[in-house]
Amino acid sequence: MGQMRRRCKQLIKELQVPASTDLRGICDVVAARVERPVHLVPMSLGGVVSGMTATTDDGYWVFYELKTSPWHQTHIVLHELSHLLLGHAQDPAVTEDALRMWTPSVDVATAMQRMGLTMGFARHHGYDNLAERETEVLGTLLMEHVVPATAERELPPTGPAAEVAAALGPALQHIRRQQEAAGPAGGPGV
């Protein structure tokens, strides 16, 4: 754990994260590092996940739970950004399964292409593996630099964010139904 913490602190130092910034500011830092824009999209994720990241030709889209406190939203976003910074592999299985159910007459690759998504869709499960622990350490260390926004009502996503969010809705509903059918053991993850 000590080695992991040192690695994360070194990464923050390399990023030259300001002593105090907001979520948009940290997204700009991450975007420069990963060489792609990072877009934030608050939306109700229906209890399936707290946050997730989609990859499109327009960059990374970090979706985070709208119906929670500003501090929790900040933590969720920093967790997702930490996955990007640490270069963790994304798990497209959830999207593939949901799309198979949602668009059974169209193959998954075609459905993803029509929605403008690549097969990079992050949904990481649990905190029992090394990547998740490392992500939590980095997210927590980043939290020391980020000032959460005050609570306010977010407007619904518009433009490309609305398109990606609309495409995610049915997939999230499908996953939620699967979780409910599986019972408490199939609980949500980040």
Q: What's the pLDDT tens digit per position in 81-134?
A: 999 999 876 555 445 554 554 455 555 566 555 555 554 444 444 444 888 889
Residue 14 has pLDDT above 90, yes or no: yes
Predicted pLDDT of residue 190: 45
Q: The pTM is what?
A: 0.68
Instruction: Grade residue 172 by pLDDT with cuts at 50, 70 and 90.
Output: low
Q: How far apart are CA 44 and CA 37, in angstroms?
A: 22
Rg for the chain, CA atoms, rounded: 16
- The encoded tokens of residue 34 equal 């990963």
Q: Enumerate long-range contacts of 180-189, CB under 8 Å, 24 or more apart.
A: 188/47, 188/48, 188/49, 188/50, 189/49, 189/123, 189/124, 189/125, 189/126
Residue 34 has pLDDT above 90, yes or no: yes
Predicted pLDDT of residue 30: 96
Instruction: Grade residue 56 by pLDDT with cuts at 50, 70 and 90.
Output: confident
- Provide mean pLDDT across the span 63-70: 89
- Provide mean pLDDT across the span 13-17: 93
Write b or e for each residue in 154-168: b if 16 or more Cβ atoms lie within 10 A of its Cβ, otherwise e: eeebeebbeebbebb
Predicted pLDDT of residue 38: 95
Phi, psi of 119 (to 5 degrees): -80, 10
Q: Do 31 and 59 contact (CB within 8 A), yes or no?
A: yes
Which one is predicted more confidently, 45 or 151? 45
Q: Do 110 and 102 contact (CB within 8 A), yes or no?
A: no
Predicted pLDDT of residue 132: 85
pLDDT digits (tens, 9 = 90+) for 111-122: 555 555 554 444
Q: Do 65 and 50 contact (CB within 8 A), yes or no?
A: yes
- Provide mean pLDDT across the span 147-153: 65
Predicted pLDDT of residue 129: 80
SS3 content of the chain, % helix, strand, coil (to 5): 55, 15, 30
Q: Helices in 35-92 by DSSP H: which ranges?
A: 70-86
Instruction: Grade residue 25 by pLDDT with cuts at 50, 70 and 90.
Output: very high
Instruction: Grade residue 9 by pLDDT with cuts at 50, 70 and 90.
Output: very high
Residue 114, number of CB atoms within 10 A of its CB: 11
